[in-house]
Chains A and B, each alone.
Chain A
């Protein structure tokens, strides 16, 4: 009965590779997000989708490409991975409306070597 699930939990890869992180939510929420948590634990929004439409696209290198095949899924593809991409990536979802909290997945720790 996991609400927001993302896979994989851990991802170790070499520089230059391409990788994807998948996210699914079963809460019926309209809005999904990707957040990046850096080594200092700071959480920063990367993207947000509402009903498969991109509504937030922060200053993120275009090597990062989100894809939302339907409103329950939001995947993150990263091309040409760099050392600085090492971080924990969180998927989240919420109802529309600023009164709704975000529900987070358990994060994917990406390590680029």
Chain B
């Protein structure tokens, strides 16, 4: 079974600074997608970014980018120029070609942005 691990329960960053959230996963599948979701206090689950395993180029969405290391099974999220609105719980998630339609989540990292 696929597993996703986020080893940082909490992180903090100063406004305008850069922070990196870690995620590792375990799978035997050859093709899969990885996602980062953001959950602010409003409880909404918001898709931040996604990465296909076969793409070597790291995905980027504005201030959000990933560092995808397939051999190491690592998928970290970098947030540049952090803003107060980035404060949220961030979840790493995995969805594979043979694991059915399930999206498997990590435990989450609570990000605090200090003014």
Contact = CB atoms under 8 A, between A and B. Distances in A.
Interface in B86-101: 89, 91, 95-97, 99-101
B108 A45 contact: no
Given A43-B91, A88-B43, A96 B35 contact: no
Contact of B108 (A42, A94, A99): A42
Interface string A27-53: 000010100000011111100101000
B44 interface: yes
A99 B100 contact: no
A55 B99 CA distance: 11
A99 B85 CA distance: 28
Contacts of A96: 101
A105 to B, nearest CB: 8
Interface residues of B, number: 26
B64 interface: no
B101 A101 contact: no
Interface in A75-111: 88, 90, 92, 94, 96, 98-99, 101-104, 106-107, 109
Contact of A55 (B89, B96, B101): B101
Q: Is the contact region of chain A dominated by helix, strand, or loop, or is it mixed?
A: strand
Contacts, number: 61
A4 B77 CA distance: 26
A56 B100 contact: yes
B47 interface: yes
Most chain A C-beta atoms within 10 Å of own C-beta, residue among B31, B91, B102? B102
B27 to A, nearest CB: 12
Interface of A: 31, 33, 40-45, 48, 50, 55-56, 88, 90, 92, 94, 96, 98-99, 101-104, 106-107, 109
19 contacts: A33-B103, A40-B107, A41-B89, A41-B107, A43-B108, A45-B103, A45-B104, A48-B100, A48-B101, A55-B100, A56-B102, A90-B45, A98-B32, A98-B33, A99-B52, A99-B95, A101-B35, A101-B50, A104-B44
Interface of B: 31-33, 35, 39, 42-45, 47, 50, 52, 89, 91, 95-97, 99-105, 107-108
